Chains A and B, each alone.
Chain A
Amino acid sequence: MNILVCISSVPETTTKIRFTDENKAFDTSEVKWIINPWDELALTRALELKEQYPDQVQEITVATVGGQWTEQVIRKALAIGADKGLRVDTEPKDAWQTASQLLPVVQNGNYDIVMAGIDSSDYNGMAVGNMLAEMAELPSIAAVSYLDLDGDKITVKREVAGGKETMEAKNPFVAIVQKGIAIEPKIAGMRGVMNARRKPLEVLEPVNAEAMTEFLSFELPEPKGDCIMIEPGNESELFDKLANEANAL
């Protein structure tokens, strides 16, 4: 069994968000790039599966769409245990372009499970995994919070309003992954970092695909007013204010 994990590079979660070029572009000048947290959950589970079922899971490949700058994140994925990296060499403008570039990767590879994060912490597009599944005409299961193997069987749980549904998945399929699927992210050791340098990182030429949406400009939220402090013991005053001042009850 081979697993493909689609990953994207996003700013580290504590990054202060700033814009340049008259608010038309995200200021990347001081940004430290990490694997998108949801993609990292997917990768973590994929690596766990390979450890748990070494006879069944042969190879974990990570794929990203982006310029050379995204290789640092692929190297990180290789350092924590992925076997192979793929980078489609273009800067996508939206999820449609990203999924279109990943489509030949899926079609030309021999993957039993394709994994992608449910969201990305940069532009919150929430679309690549499901678009890719539909473009590749593969079955998909979204909001996956559990994935395990039992012989030939793949058991998946997805979160739905008010609970969970357990499903049996037939490979090949696309799992769009969310919180719960894995807990402890893997941390790269010295050896992992050294090994990553020798692992294959293939650069692929992009295919033609136009963007369907375009970011015009960005803005930061309005600063919020001061916090009104209430003394302990005066909790009824809080509820007065919530009812009459904030109109929140």
Chain B
Amino acid sequence: MSILAYTPIRDGQFTKLTYELLSYGRALADQLSTELVALSLGKTEEDQLKTLAEYGADKILHSNDDRFEQLDNRAFSKAISQAAEKNEANIVLMANDFTGKALAPATGVHLKAGVVSGVIGLPESTDPFVVKKKVFTGKAFARIQVKGERKIFTLETNSYEITQTSKEAAIETFEPQLDEGDFTTKIIEEDKQTDKILLTDADIVVSGGRGMKGPEHWQPLEELAEVLGAATACSRPVSDEKWRPEEEHVGQTGKIIAPNLYFALGISGAIQHVAGVSGSKTIVAVNNDPEAPIFEVANYGIVGDLKEVLPNLIEAAKAAK
């Protein structure tokens, strides 16, 4: 038996999410006294592949097949299933990002496995197999029993500490059996920014709400984010009003994030917004209304006018660097 972790690449690099997933997989493999196999599909440099061992992989499978340049749910989920079967992996792990959310259920169908999305820690028991995840968009937790021999989990972002080891691992070529009919979709245009910190990857997120009073006031918020090396985000009214792109919306129907530090600037803290950010380790809220519900979930609060507080925050952040 073994555990298979699917490790996607972004612009030829593995990301923090992958290393978090492997750290989790390592701990789970130790708990079950088994091996952790990492699977990479698509062109990747050998130096990059080697880093997978540093975060816990015992074995690295890699396919250089050109056809994996574009994510296709059918082809990728079939390839992952074949790798799992070949390595007798009863557990398949993926990150709970766009890729994992699409591929985990699809792979689950091929492997007839129990799928749990957004697991937040190691299993509390392995016989029966019980894991924990957030439900009601962070308003509660659930303990779930996963039946059957095969299991697939996606790991909630920022829910497991990244641990480096001094391991080395063999890199093996993996050749999945796929015919052209397995590649079912085609990309005709890409619009990607590679230099931007991903909202879902970021350690620090600076987020603005209606209290920012219009898109023309966002420059200081962006400056604060830049000083802190943070990603920028916004509340729903801000994206609905098109002050900011919809990709920045965090909240119940937008992105669910769990950074180390979240700045809520001019966000009142409606229950739907809080649901999207309640996984943040520390929340700082700035609002001119002392009664704003955001202060009920924040760890640190400033009651004041953003016109004055935001420049002060930028100065203080620069000084703290």
Give residues in A with beta carbon < 8 Å to B.
Answer: 11, 13-14, 17, 19, 37-38, 41, 94-96, 99, 118-119, 121-131, 133-135, 139-143, 145, 158-169, 173, 176, 179-180, 183, 211-221, 224-225, 227-233, 235-236, 238-243, 246, 248-249
- Kindly state the separation between the CA atoms of A141 and B71 in the bound complex, as whole angstroms: 9
Task: Check A13–B271 contact: CB distance below 8 A.
Answer: yes
Which of A139, A143, A239 is the most central at the interface, judged by chain B CB atoms within 10 Å of its CB? A239
When C-beta atoms are compared, the residue in chain A nearest to B8 turns out to be A161
Interface size class of B (residues with CB under 8 A): 35 or more
Task: Check B320–A183 contact: CB distance below 8 A.
Answer: no
- Kindly state the separation between the CA atoms of A213 and B112 in the bound complex, as whole angstroms: 12
Give residues in B with beta carbon < 8 Å to A.
Answer: 10, 15, 70-71, 73-74, 77, 96-99, 101-106, 108-110, 113-118, 130, 133-148, 154, 184-194, 196, 198, 200-201, 204, 228, 240, 246-247, 249, 252-254, 260-261, 271-272, 275, 278, 281-282, 284-285, 295-305, 308-309, 312-313, 315-317, 319-320
Task: Check B261–A249 contact: CB distance below 8 A.
Answer: yes
Task: Check A96–B302 contact: CB distance below 8 A.
Answer: no
Task: Check A168–B188 contact: CB distance below 8 A.
Answer: yes
When C-beta atoms are compared, the residue in chain B nearest to A236 turns out to be B316
Among all A-B residue pairs, the 6 with the closest Cβ atoms: A163-B192, A139-B184, A232-B304, A142-B102, A212-B114, A127-B105
* Nearest Cβ on chain A to B4's Cβ, whole angstroms: 18
Chain A at the B interface: mostly helix, strand, loop or mixed?
mixed
Chain B at the A interface: mostly helix, strand, loop or mixed?
mixed
When C-beta atoms are compared, the residue in chain B nearest to A239 turns out to be B320
* Nearest Cβ on chain A to B267's Cβ, whole angstroms: 14
Task: Check A179–B254 contact: CB distance below 8 A.
Answer: yes
**With A14-B271, A224-B297 known to touch, is A145 a contact of B246 (CB < 8 Å)?**
yes
Contacts of A215 in B (CB 8 A): 142-144
Task: Check A131–B105 contact: CB distance below 8 A.
Answer: yes
Contacts of B249 in A (CB 8 A): 179
Task: Check B98–A160 contact: CB distance below 8 A.
Answer: yes
Task: Check B102–A37 contact: CB distance below 8 A.
Answer: no
- CB < 8 Å neighbour of A140 from B102, B108, B278, B281: B102
- CB < 8 Å neighbour of B102 from A94, A143, A167, A236: A143
- Kindly state the separation between the CA atoms of A228 and B136 in the bound complex, as whole angstroms: 27
Contacts of A125 in B (CB 8 A): 117
- Kindly state the separation between the CA atoms of A229 and B190 in the bound complex, as whole angstroms: 45
Task: Check A235–B108 contact: CB distance below 8 A.
Answer: no
Task: Check B299–A96 contact: CB distance below 8 A.
Answer: no
When C-beta atoms are compared, the residue in chain A nearest to B138 turns out to be A221
- Kindly state the separation between the CA atoms of A51 and B219 in the bound complex, as whole angstroms: 39
